[in-house]
Amino acid sequence: MDQFGVTHGQGWIRRCQSALRSSKYLLNISVLLSIAFMVFVYSIKGNWLQRGVSTSSVNPIPESGWYEAEPVSGNNDGRRTEEHGGVHEYRAERTMNTRTLVQLMADQSASPTFSLLANVTQHRKGLPNYYIHGLRSGMGEDYAKCNIAFVHLHKAGGTTTKALFRKARRKARMNEVKMSNRVTTSEFDRFLQKGRTPKPTLFWGGFSFGICDVLHKRPCSYMTVLRNPYDRIISSYFFCFTKYSSRLCGPVRPKDVSITAWAIHQGSHFFNLVLVHPDTCRNDSSSDEYVKLYQDHTKDIIQYVHRHEDTCWFRQKALHKEALTKEQRRALLHYILDNLENWFAVIGMLEDYRVSLELFGEAYQMNFTAEYSVPLNTGGARVKEEDTTIKQMKIDLLNSAEVREALYEDIMIYEKALEIMKLQKEEYSRIKNIG
């Protein structure tokens, strides 16, 4: 190319560069104006949402309104004054710089307790949710012949559910294994050695989660019934008020503490049940040292008595509080939320109990509604209390940031379960309409 061509070529390049700078300048202005417009729109939308939007009739189960059922003192419209986001809060938290379970496991400084729990949690086995995944995957028949593990959440309709399942179990000629505080470890050890059940078996109790990990040959599934965490705390308070000798109450008597202290003591009970490890329940468990540490750290809030300090659920809670960081607990929670529908064949809700029984029946091909008449273990002490006392208790719980933190994991799990319940009901309705 001659000099003319080079010169003009260079001039063309300079003009292109100048034009490009001009276009970039105009583009930047356009982008800035667009961003400003979006911020303006979303700020209006955010203010509109904060003023309160009625739930659409298409969605009968609101994502994050269940804890707003009772009016809060100092708030005329009956809504929460705290910024409680429910599932929205969970989703927002996931966008923050929170490390995942896998990332935290790679941390060399992670405690052995966390590494063990994280590893076990990542390798859970069991049939997925019947309505969301099972039917679509062609596994529907597996649920009618599988082992069933009922994860019994204290004061969430568990006694009634257990009774109904045991009746159905006898009709179906299934075996039965109790997974309670005293026998959990020995039963895990027994089935770890056997690796199978001779025929379909019903496992029931608060410490049954994880049994499917050691069973082979026959399909295995989990089911449970959940309840509004605040209501469950109040119910357990009244239950233990009259039956404080129960191991479910742990080393605390309700008559010695306030309802908020009781909630902190109970904590996120279901979260702990899903993370249960049988070694925690051994009589020679080293987790006892964590129990002492936890009691020492909370003695200014909770008045303890020398009773049932070795109960498995309390050991488990103390272990999680003392041996895990908040970031580790959150990572475990996020993993649980992402996998609830993969771990539980059916999730029932106490607030929608009869429908829950229909969902269980359809999945396992058993008739539970025919046996259901009157709920068991409803708590006579609570019936005698004034309704205003119950309402005040709920207000006290809702207004406590410490309680919110103590129940945080169970609140998030309950919110996620509401979403799952909605999907289960939709698929169940579709099945019935086809039939």
Tens of each residue's pLDDT in the chain, 435 residues: 443 233 333 443 344 344 434 444 444 444 344 434 433 333 333 332 232 322 222 233 233 333 333 333 333 333 333 334 454 455 555 545 578 898 899 988 888 889 989 999 999 999 999 999 998 888 889 999 999 999 999 899 888 888 888 888 888 888 888 887 666 677 778 888 888 888 999 998 888 899 999 898 899 999 999 999 999 999 999 999 887 667 788 888 899 999 999 999 999 999 999 998 777 777 665 667 888 888 888 888 888 887 766 777 888 888 888 889 999 999 999 999 999 999 999 999 999 999 999 999 999 998 888 767 655 555 554 445 557 788 899 999 999 999 999 999 999 999 999 999 999 999 999 988 875
**Quick check: is 309 in a domain?**
yes
**Quick check: is 419 in a domain?**
yes
* Closest to 351 in 3D by CA, of 400, 421, 290, 303: 421
Cross-strand bridge partners of residue 220? 147
**Quick check: is 345 in a domain?**
yes
Q: Up-side HSE of residue 97: CA atoms within 13 Å toward CB? A: 0
How many residues does the structure list for the chain? Answer: 435
**Quick check: is 312 in a domain?**
yes
**Quick check: is 116 in a domain?**
yes
Q: Is 104 buried (19+), middle (13-18) or exposed (0-12) by CB count in 10 A?
A: buried
The rounded distance, in Å, linking the Cα atoms of 125 and 215 is 9
Q: Which residues lie below 8 Å from residue 294, measured CB to CB, with a gap of 6+?
A: 317, 318, 321, 322
The rounded distance, in Å, linking the Cα atoms of 36 and 30 is 10
Cross-strand bridge partners of residue 223? 150, 346
**What pLDDT is stored for residue 435 in this prediction?**
57
Which amino acid would we find at residue 27?
L
The rounded distance, in Å, linking the Cα atoms of 368 and 353 is 11
**What pLDDT is stored for residue 395 in this prediction?**
94
Name the domain count of the chain.
1
**Quick check: is 45 in a domain?**
no
Q: Residue 210 — left, alpha, or beta (φ > 0 → left; ψ -120 to 50 → alpha)? A: left
Give the CATH number, domain containing residue 181.
Answer: 3.40.50
* Closest to 109 in 3D by CA, of 335, 289, 325: 325
Chain Cα centroid distance, residue 382 = 26
**What pLDDT is stored for residue 405 in this prediction?**
95
Structure tokens given for 214: 């050691």
63 and 84 in contact (C-beta within 8 Å)? no
**What pLDDT is stored for residue 36 in this prediction?**
45
One-character DSSP codes across 315-374:
HHHHHHHHHS-HHHHHHHHHHHHHHHHHHEEEEEEGGGHHHHHHHHHHHHT---TTT--S
Strand order in the sheet with 201-205: 175-178, 201-205, 147-151, 220-226, 344-349
**Quick check: is 35 in a domain?**
no
End-to-end CA distance of the chain: 81
Q: What is the pTM of this model?
A: 0.76
336 and 268 in contact (C-beta within 8 Å)? no
**Quick check: is 1 in a domain?**
no
Structure tokens given for 168: 């159905």
308 and 250 in contact (C-beta within 8 Å)? yes
Q: Which domain holds residue 178?
A: 87-434
Q: Which residues lie below 8 Å from residue 243, measured CB to CB, with a gap of 6+?
A: 249
Neighbour-count burial for 19-32, b at 16+ CB within 10 Å, e otherwise: eeeeeeeeeeeeee
Which amino acid would we find at residue 309?
E
The rounded distance, in Å, linking the Cα atoms of 104 and 110 is 7
